[in-house]
Structure 1
Amino acid sequence: MHRNTAGIDAGGSLIKIVYQENERMHFKKFHIKEKDAAISWLKLSVPSLHVALTGGKSSVIQKKYFPKSIIIPEFQATCEGTRFLLAAENKSLGENYLIVNIGTGTSWHVVKGDKVERILGSGIGGGTFTGLGSLLTKVRGYRQLTVLAEEGNKGNVDMMVKDIYESGESPVNGELTAANFAKGIRQKHSEGDRLASLSNMIAETIVLLTSQAATIHQVKNAVIIGSATVGNHPLKQALEFYMNMVGVIPVFLEKGEYCGAIGAHITV
């Protein structure tokens, strides 16, 4: 008889659930404000669950709903889930690579064979896009913000290298940003333009830190996971563009936002 198992990643913005039922793996996510409804739904839908938890709010959920569950350290679960998905999606990167987890904030890990080490963290991430994006516009929902960002033109808000050199020869790519938001008080722009600029600034910051980490640890591949790139095409495209420019190969996983929940699940 097969057990019904689940891994739950309760983070700062989302609660992600991976559960096994009848030998099939299922994926669900909810806003963290809906965690009570999400867990109630899970317990009704899949009774007699064996659960492993991870994420910042895991102890709250354990105490209230699953006192017999185990808690897996967040960074361990994330990295184990990444390894699992790389194998499941037949992506071979060798033994050494970076994991860049872009969630509410961003964390960096370096993988060298069987060893994994968290090397860096930043407050810049999906929470920045949602929070600052809501301050820059009248839009509140993440999906609506990403749609609006796709309609925008960052060049109406950012000062580009080509804006400075104009017809002169630029020492670097003219499409690079010289100063984020520098045209904010000089030029007419839309809410979409502001969000496109914000998305670009987040991508540039993450890529600069990734590039430095890749150089220090002598790796070429960076596995991009987390929820922030899901549905956010401007952010994903900018990450790919800048990473290729600095010589880092970005690898996106189809279910990368569930790495933490998968890492917890496979330990049950």
Structure 2
Amino acid sequence: MEAGRIGIDAGGTLVKIAYEESGRIKYRKAGYKEAKELLNWLKLIAPSASPSVTGGKALWIKENFFPNARLVHEFEAVCSGVDILLRKENNTTAGQFIVVNIGTGTSIFLAGEGKCHRIGGSGLGGGTLTGLGNLLTGTEDFSEIVGMAAAGSRQHVDLLVKDIYGGRDEPLNGDMTAANFAKGKGEGKEDLTAALINMIAETIILLTSQLARANKVDTIVYAGSTLAGNAPLKDALSAYTGAFGLKPVFLGNGEYCGALGALMAESATEH
């Protein structure tokens, strides 16, 4: 591996790595229970590397694994990574657009036209999914929670508009949520997790749609580790985004935006 060509995003839940090998960018990730093993592997294969590190636990990486690491501002890294992935996927997003990065929590950026800055966010994200999911189901395993949600129905848990109006003279779409978890029951863990993912999706798109309207933007680019392998969340976000008259774009490898942006930030300083 070419020394120095490494970007690390140390978030609240995961450590994500983007590294260059034989002229290609490769990716790896681990939760913090396995992070030491991953980082020691990285030191083994690239002992002279000085990676660029971003994220809330970047200083922990620097102090414990790579003393020569360069620290990169998290929001700058995310914005740079999104731009790189959009160009790599030949996605022509003209003008400005909204970036929704769903990690442990959620950050929302206004991007495009050579600019990118954070304009909002929410405490709901992947940390909510695993933390509250653990309280509801007894497991904090991300894949298990997502699998349960895919098999469940939120209609047994959420109070819907049609539940109140009985299908008559409804002022809103009857399938819209009147109150999350208001029925206080479900037919199993699957229903509870389905309602949880829906609540996260609803909250994110309600915030995002308001910011999009205020900034006259119609394209929403979704990224972040919580979307990886999470079809229920992607499906909900896609449906809600379209319902608000907005265009959803889901980035391939979007969970590595921060790591990729950190790697490329270092490359920029070399030229």
Q: Which TM-score tier does this pair reach, normalised by the shorter chain? A: over 0.9
Q: TM-score, structure 1 length as denominator?
A: 0.95
1:164 aligns with 2:164: yes
SS in structure 2 opposite 1:92? coil
CA shift digits 1:231-268 (9 cap, x unpaired): 11111111011110011211100110000000001122
Cα displacement (A) at 1:121: 2.0
* 1:258 alignment counterpart: 256
1:212 aligns with 2:216: no
- Give % identity: 47
SS in structure 2 opposite 1:228? helix
* 2:220 alignment counterpart: 222
* 1:141 alignment counterpart: 141
- What aligned pairs does 1:1-268 form with structure 2 within 5 A after superposition? 3=3, 5-185=5-185, 188-268=186-266
Whichever residue aligns with residue 59 of structure 2, its letter is S
Distance across 2 between alignment mates of 1:261 and 1:112:
20
CA shift digits 1:68-125 (9 cap, x unpaired): 2211100000000000000001001113001111000000110141121111121111
SS in structure 2 opposite 1:49? coil
CA shift digits 1:192-211 (9 cap, x unpaired): 10000010000000000000
Cα displacement (A) at 1:21: 1.3
Cα displacement (A) at 1:4: 5.3
SS in structure 1 opposite 2:20? strand
Distance across 1 between alignment mates of 2:40 and 2:2:
22
Whichever residue aligns with residue 173 of structure 1, its letter is N
Q: TM-score, structure 2 length as denominator?
A: 0.94
Whichever residue aligns with residue 155 of structure 2, its letter is G
Whichever residue aligns with residue 38 of structure 1, its letter is L
Distance across 1 between alignment mates of 2:57 and 2:149:
30
Distance across 2 between alignment mates of 1:2 and 1:124:
38
Cα displacement (A) at 1:2: 5.4
Runs of 4+ more than 4 Å apart: 1-4
Whichever residue aligns with residue 63 of structure 2, its letter is K
Cα displacement (A) at 1:43: 1.5
The 8 Å contact of residues 7 and 51 in structure 2, kept in 1 or not, is answered as yes
SS in structure 1 opposite 2:226? coil
SS in structure 1 opposite 2:187? coil
Whichever residue aligns with residue 262 of structure 1, its letter is L
Cα displacement (A) at 1:24: 1.4
Distance across 1 between alignment mates of 2:128 and 2:134:
10
Distance across 1 between alignment mates of 2:162 and 2:2:
61
CA shift digits 1:40-79 (9 cap, x unpaired): 0112233432310000111111122222221110000000
Distance across 2 between alignment mates of 1:165 and 1:9:
48
Distance across 1 between alignment mates of 2:3 and 2:31:
27
Whichever residue aligns with residue 227 of structure 1, its letter is S
The 8 Å contact of residues 4 and 22 in structure 1, kept in 2 or not, is answered as no
Distance across 1 between alignment mates of 2:117 and 2:22:
35
The 8 Å contact of residues 21 and 46 in structure 1, kept in 2 or not, is answered as no
Distance across 1 between alignment mates of 2:83 and 2:106:
18
The 8 Å contact of residues 198 and 233 in structure 2, kept in 1 or not, is answered as yes
CA shift digits 1:9-31 (9 cap, x unpaired): 00000000000011111100000
